[in-house]
Structure 1
Amino acid sequence: MSRIYCPIRLSALAAAVSLCLPVFAQEAPATPAKAEPVKSEDGKKIQQVQVKGTADSYDPRRDDTATKIVVTSEEITRFGDTNALDVLKRVPGITVNSANGRGGEIRMRGLGSGYTQILVNGERAPAGFSMEALAPDSIERIEVLRAASAEFSTQSVAGTINIILKRTVKNRLRELKLAMQGSSNGFGPNANLQMSDRDGSFSYSFTANAMQDRFDFDAAGLETTVAPDGTVTELQSLELPQKGWFRALNLNPRLNWTLAPDNTVTWQTWVNANRFRNRFREVTTTVIGSPPFYPDESNAVDNEGNQLRSDLSWARKLASGAKLDLKLGVSAGEVTSIMLRSATNGTNPILDKHIRAEGEDRGINSTGKYARTLGKGHAFTAGWDGGVDTRDDARIERDALRSAPPLPEENSEARVERLAVFAQDEWNILPSWSMYLGARWEGIRTAVEGNAFGSVRASSSVWSPIMQTLYKIPGKKGDQLRFALTRTYKAPGVGNLSPRRQSSENNSSTQPDYQGNPNLKPELAFGIDAAYEHYWAEGALFSISASSRRISDFTRFLTYFDGRRWITTPSNQDSAVTRSLEVETKFPLKAVMQDAPAVDVRASVSRNWSRVESVPGPYNRLDQQTPLSLTLGVDYKAGALTTGASFAYRSGGPVRVSLNQRSYFRPRRDLDLYALWKFDAKQQLRLALSNVLKQDFLAENTYMDDSIGAQTRSFLYPGPVRMRATYELKF
């Protein structure tokens, strides 16, 4: 295959509010240092001084000009989750949508599919990266940025979730966690090891996590076709029994060398390996109408994925007081998928197909940042972010029952070149007023070539000015306002640009073939964010924020019949508008009740609206947007026992995807419980229950046409209660 090289060119709202009412109580004064008389060994009284921190200490959410929510390591590991997706569903303003209970799409403001940017250590997640395979114990913190920042990519229309892997080094840390989880349809163990230490100018940290999850369950479905006159012309029941397992291994070593007090070198590597096996049948029983061509189809799926990212960084403080950060990184990944499909007509085989797909990713990237203080109150930063990523794909399909010659192997090669430069200035204009001004230019050049289609080349560049400001209201301690103007975008992925056809066995309007569109353009968004925040006691917060995004060149998927088969393809269609309103509060109960127990309360609600202008209403929401999400949580501590609960609600309903397509999502309620018992300073036991309400997963899609009527296909996947027990030991 010829090598491609293209140089990049520079060119339930009321309920939530009622939960927040305590924040308007009289502000609690900062807790003063308390002196208590105690007796020394000789019987004389001495003063014991207990010093407590106050809300005046630095808090990135409160004090940074750019809006940032930080989820700490303690919050991440609180429920003993085995993957990062379960952690994120409890974060205010974030929802995780899953059609079948495995994996899921992370959404901010109810939007996913590339509108929400996922970063790992400040960089875009590598190809093939799975949040389901990322262990929470490997994460140091999670940063949620509602408005764009010039330092990070501005492919963040809805916002950015930045996952920071373990990097803090503690003297002589040895911690082992052994867990077992189970439910009525599966079980699996989990082990996690953390180690760190220092020796003079050298320090290191190491995290390793291994997990396995076995599953065995039966899903059920229904497919109906209703003619324009209301007559049911097709009715089919579907059975989908599944059995398999998922395994994952995470390794995260980090080495630090301090060459001088202000001169450090760091090497960090992240390795992830995952394996997935699934054996399932799709059995169709026809009650009304004609049966499908393959009424009893068996599938065997074997997937293997390996990803590696390694970074070498250097941080140096210069004599002028400026700081220079440089980083060079490489990434690699391999994905192999094997699918065996077979079917019979009752006695004789009519399908015996073998499909093998392989993908190999390679990448190199470089980032640099120069920061210094300019004049009085100016913190200036400038830098770059560039890289080259390549992907080679090979796909071979064989059908043992075909009399014709076998299909040739399909090969393709993609190359993506990226370059971004940025500058930002955070300026403390007054003690109560700070301003953030930033600008980022990003250019992307994509080239795809394959033996089954012609060469495809696409390029785009976006100039993103950003303004954020923070104003602390004088005379009202703890009250502040935020405002931001941003320009962000969503670039089309390589898979959406490639015109290669991906076929569906039982091709229909609800199971169409997929084909990319090489003429896709990036979606551009202009955004406005505003927020009011009230910090009324130590650890207590109330905030209300609103945002709006107007998106041009909006991409949606169109389904059509080409005369032989049904096909779905992405296309730029007109524009869209999205708006959001979020309310959040958290506080210790002692902030509103004198002599209250050690209870912490948190609550949030997000209401989202959107409209795709080229799709007729009602329910013409953008990207199947989640209209309403709600989180409630409480934690209680008494001696050696810590316990708590979390409730997450996500509304559903119909969505008009296009003129002819409609989806339906069932509202979802997730209730999780946990209890932690500390035996001593080195041993503790954590117990957790998730999906206590036994919520199932429903996926439903409808295609509507004046000639055939409405064809609906739905599947229901069981969602049992899952139990986890984790033994944690420091040694």
Structure 2
Amino acid sequence: MMPLPKTRFHLTVLSVAILAAMNSAAFAQQAASVESVQPDPSAKASNTQQKIQRVEVQGTRNYDERRQDTATKIVVTQEDIIRYGDTTVGDVLKRLPGVTIGGVQGRGGEIRMRGLGAGYTQILLNGEPSPPGFSLDSISPDLIERIEVMRAATADTSTQAIAGGINIVLKKTVQTAQKEIKIGGQMDGGRFGTNMNGQIADKLGRMSYSLSGNLTHGQYERPSAMDEIGTDASGKTNLLRHTDIVGWGTFNAIGFAPRVNWSLENGDTVTTQSFINANRFSGYNKESSITSLGVLPVYVSDFQRIQSDFTMLRTNLNWIHKLADSAKLDVKLGVNYNKRNSDVNFLGYDIGNTQTLDRKVSSGASDKGLTFSGKYSAPFVENHAFVFGWDGAYSKRNENRLQNDTVTSLASGLKPLNLDETFDADVTRLALFAQDEWNITKQWSLYAGLRWEGLDTRSEGNTYSEVRNKSSVWSPILQTLWKLPDSKNDQVRLGLTRTYKAPDTSKLIPRRYISNNNSATNPDTMGNPNLKPELAWGLDAAFEHYLSDGGMLSASVYMRRINDITRTQLSNVNGTWISMPVNDGQATTRGIELEAKFPLRSVMQNAPSIDFRANLSFNWSNLETVPGPNNRIDSQTPISANLGMDYKLDKLPLTVGGNVSFQDGGPVRISVAQSSYSVPKRVLDVYALWKFTQKTNLRVSLGNALHQDNLSASTYSDASGSLQQTTTTPTTTTLRILFEHKL
């Protein structure tokens, strides 16, 4: 047998490793083909024209950031972003290497890198931290130019990125006049929804403009079931309870995103970009429990109605001023505002279906913010790229809550809890940074940065005295890229970073959120004004192999050593269970990440025109102050994987494909007495794209085609006994049909 060429050997080994690991995790693989970047051989006459069009759209994007930048990052292009016809950014992110989404599959949730969320992952918008109350789902994927997944922090972006950062880069320039409309419908669990996106863009002399808008209407119905089992000190069962839960409702949203660019005569550019979004949510939730053993809950059944309105405005002005000797000054000024109002009506009933409580809650919150940042870059020394800058932000949050209880049954023994609470919080952030990228030789480059960032949080309310929390962090960063001299396609990366996680403002405020049915697995929650930032030293290393046909293979490892880790502390105060975040010791997290993407013809000659992509991540962590086993940080995802293919048919204007993902779960030890469990999740997304003409497409996709039930559990156990709560949530497959037309 002849030996495999070097490139094929790399591809074969990594592919087998990824597939074997996914099989060992009981991963049922199933993938259809997807859109290929290979040209259609039946259209040879148009090959040259297609290539010219590709260069025209990308402009200066011929520079490969992932391959050539010293700072490590993964770059996702606009073509990849729109491939599945996703309506939210979260649906796009879930397929990226090392990125997972918390919560129930198919419904969105917390964005996590390396299995870590809850503030460990930094979300950026055009390189700036997203403002309070901002949701990525308010941005249409059509507005995004690219997504950057940054595994190691850089000085010019916030170093609040222990796990890493995700930067959403929006389109800023208009190449040619565009008029585009997309109309779609979706079916989710028998509930119909619609969405429409439109974009108009053009150039007028030195000015270019773009206006994008979207309308969304959706409905949902989501049943679930909860089972509780309790035991006493001897292990004898003393509680058996089953609760059926169903939620249903509608949501509507409208958004506009105008942007204007001016190219001034002196070479300067000025850009303004805004988002205006408004949405309304009307939902209902019904719970009914049967207790076959043990004490009845406070409310045997309940009904809840929720009406919520949310509006958001974000606008920024960016001025780039060119100076002598290729230096430039880049200044940004931004303003953001969002407001939320909600009304909740909770009705509680006893075992005889007699109403015992009528609770009405009206609440509102508003966030106002100002950002001001800038950086000066200049090549003071040959082969160096020096950057100095600042990053400042101020935000103010006002919140109010009015609760009126009416006890409708005197026999219940309930006492009304009437509240009239107001809260105010001010957060000031200031950062100064300097960095340099030095091309030492043609094969070796070095990035060095230093960032100081300070936070000042102040809060006061009518139920507590003023709380103030100040913190600051120095973050040195060093990254290097070495291109192996014996190969033009192999390179090694190494990075050393100092990052941190600042306490969320809500976790600093000693406000108490009350649970309707208080228990050890469903406690009240409150903030801790004494929280300190978590500080971490990090090490990243990677090997990358690039293929001549545009494919690549990479293997990377990472490690983080975190001090003053934050975990949840549960306590019983006068019979009421209360959870509160506290700083508690040190933790270590580490992992391995593998990625591959290449045309199948790189491995097999005469293979179909299929593009193959896969990634696999292993994560381990250890919280030293919590006994093992399974004492992972923040319920860290141990294993995640994606396998996808794109197949462009030669004789038909059809592209089909799919992506299957796996996200491991398992048991987690939260504290000496607390533990949780989440089921491993498997998600299959498939799509088909039919191109009627160069300007008209029809895209059909299935999301969460496996519709696997989601299962989660939480357990509390001490010397007096234990309580386990298990929730089972069925999921549904979403069918989307999207008609795309360029005018």
**2:528 aligns to what?**
517
- Structure 1 residue 58: deviation in Å? 2.6
Alignment partner for residue 669 of structure 1, among 665, 678, 682?
682
Query: What are the superposed Cα offsets for residues 181-203 of structure 1, whole Å, 9 maximum, x if unpaired?
Result: 10324220011111211011010
Contact 1:360–1:392 under 8 Å retained in 2: yes
What does residue 711 of structure 2 align with? 698
Task: For residue 506 of structure 1, give the secondary structure of its aligned residue in structure 2.
Answer: coil
Corresponding residue to 1:397 among 388, 393, 403: 403
How far apart are the structure 1 equivalents of 2:740 and 2:15?
38
One-letter amino acid of the structure 2 residue matched with residue 97 of structure 1 = G
**Could you list the per-position Cα deviations for residues 527-547 of structure 1 after superposition, in whole angstroms to 9, with x for gaps in the alignment?**
000000011322110100000
For 1:597, the equivalent position in structure 2 comes to: 608
Higher-helix-fraction structure: 2
Counterpart position of 1:718: 730
The Cα shift of 1:467 comes to 0.3
> What is the one-letter code of the residue matched to 1:657?
I
Equivalent residue number for residue 528 of structure 1: 539
| Inter-CA distance 292–169: structure 2 relative to 1 (3 Å threshold) | same
Do 2:173 and 2:208's aligned partners in 1 also have CA atoms closer than 8 Å?
no
1:554 aligned residue (544, 565, 586): 565
Matched AA of 1:646:
N
- 1:555-585: CA deviation from partner (whole Å, max 9, x where unpaired): 0001110123100000000010000100111
Deviations 1:118-171 (A, max 9, x none): 111212222222234432223221110000010100000000001122323131
Structure 2 contact 404–419 (Cα < 8 Å) conserved:
no
What is aligned with 1:18? 16
Structure 1 segment 114-513 matched on structure 2, within 5 A: 114-260=119-265, 262-345=267-350, 346-401=352-407, 407-513=418-524
Report the AA paired with residue 540 of structure 1.
G
Matched residue, 2:35: none
Report SS of the residue matched to 1:616: coil
User: 8 Å contact 2:405–2:416 — kept in the other structure?
Assistant: no
Instruction: Say which SS state the counterpart of residue 324 (structure 2) adopts.
Output: coil
**1:729 paired residue among 716, 733, 741:** 741
The one of 655, 676, 685 equivalent to 2:698 is 685
- Equivalences for residues 604-623 of structure 1 within 5 A: 604-623=615-634
The CA deviation at 1:407 is 3.0
Identical residues among aligned pairs (%)? 47
CA distance in 1, matches of 2:288, 2:524: 21
Q: In the aligned structure 2, how far is the partner of 1:50 from the partner of 1:640?
A: 18
1:97 CA drift (Å): 1.2
Deviation at 1:682?
1.4
Which amino acid in 2 is paired with 1:473? Answer: L
Report the CA distance shift for 1:595/1:102 in structure 2 as closer, same or farther (over 3 A). closer
Change (3 A) 1:575 1:538: same
- C-alpha distance 311-540 of structure 1, shift in aligned 2 (>3 A): same
- Contact 1:277 1:301 (C-alpha < 8 Å) held by counterparts: yes
| Amino acid paired to 1:694 | H
Code of the aligned partner of 2:144:
I
Question: How far off is 1:726 after superposition?
Answer: 0.4
Greater relative contact order (CA < 8 Å, ≥ 6 in sequence): 2
Q: Which residue of 2 aligns with 1:655?
A: 668
Superposition deviation, residue 297 in structure 1? 1.0
For residue 435 of structure 1, give the secondary structure of its aligned residue in structure 2: strand
Deviation of 1:90 (Å): 0.5
**Structure 1-normalised TM-score?**
0.92
Contact 1:672–1:688 (CA under 8 A) maintained in structure 2: yes
Partner of residue 42, structure 1: none
Alpha-carbon distance change, 185 to 286 in structure 1, aligned in 2, over 3 angstroms: farther
2:598 paired residue number = 587
- Measure the CA separation in 2 of the matches of 1:269 and 1:142: 19
1:648 aligns to what SS in structure 2? strand
Most deviating of 424-433 and 343-352 = 343-352
C-alpha separation between the residues in 2 aligned to 1:654 and 1:415?
A: 38
| Contact 2:535-2:564 at 8 Å conserved across structures | yes
Q: Name the CA shift for 1:250/1:273 in 2 (closer, same or farther; >3 Å).
A: same
Q: In the alignment, what sits opposite 1:643?
A: 656
* 1:480 alignment partner AA: Q
Given the superposition, is the C-alpha separation of residues 640 and 477 from structure 1 closer, same or farther in structure 2, using an over 3 Å criterion?
same
Q: Tell me how far 1:523 sits from its aligned partner.
A: 0.2
The structural deviation recorded for 1:20 is 6.8
Gaps of 5+ in 2: 1-11, 20-43, 56-60
Instruction: Measure how far apart 1:207 and its partner are.
Output: 1.6
- Stretches of structure 1 that go unaligned for 5 or more consecutive residues are 1-13, 22-37, 40-46
User: Is the partner of 2:142 in helix, strand or coil?
Assistant: helix
How far does residue 16 in structure 1 lie from its aligned partner after superposition? 5.8
Measured after TM superposition, the shift of residue 686 of structure 1 is 0.2
* In 1: Cα distance, 2:514 partner to 2:719 partner: 25
Query: d(CA) in 1 for partners of 2:51 and 2:345?
Result: 68
Q: For residues 215 and 136 of structure 2, what CA distance do their matches in structure 1 show? A: 14
Q: Is the 8 A contact 1:685 1:727 kept in 2?
A: yes
- The answer to whether the 8 A contact 2:657-2:686 is kept is yes
The answer to whether the 8 A contact 2:301-2:353 is kept is no
- Secondary structure (helix, strand or coil) at the match of 1:614 reads coil
Q: Which amino acid aligns with 2:119?
A: G
SS at match of 1:477: coil
C-alpha separation between the residues in 2 aligned to 1:134 and 1:699? 30
State the distance in 2 between where 1:596 and 1:253 align: 45
1:174-232 per-residue CA deviation (whole Å, 9 max, x = no partner) reads 11000101032422001111121101101011221221220123211111112343321
The amino acid that maps onto 1:289 is: G
Superposition deviation, residue 301 in structure 1 = 1.4
Q: Secondary structure at the match of 1:85?
A: helix
| Partner in structure 2 of residue 6 of structure 1 | none
SS at match of 2:407: coil
- 1:31 matched to which residue of 2? none
The residue type paired with residue 731 of structure 2 is G
Match of 1:106 among 107, 111, 117: 111
1:101, 1:697 within 8 Å by CA — same for their partners in 2?
A: no
Deviations 1:334-359 (A, max 9, x none): 01122110012224321100111110
Q: 1:567 aligns with which of 578, 586, 609?
A: 578
Deviation at 1:100, TM superposition (A): 7.2
SS at match of 1:417: strand
Shift of 1:259: 1.1
Partner in structure 2 of residue 28 of structure 1: none
Deviation per CA, 1:97-128: give whole Å up to 9, x if none.
Answer: 11475330111110000000111121222222
Deviations 1:675-704 (A, max 9, x none): 000001111100001111111222321111
Residue 48 of structure 1: how far off its partner (Å): 12
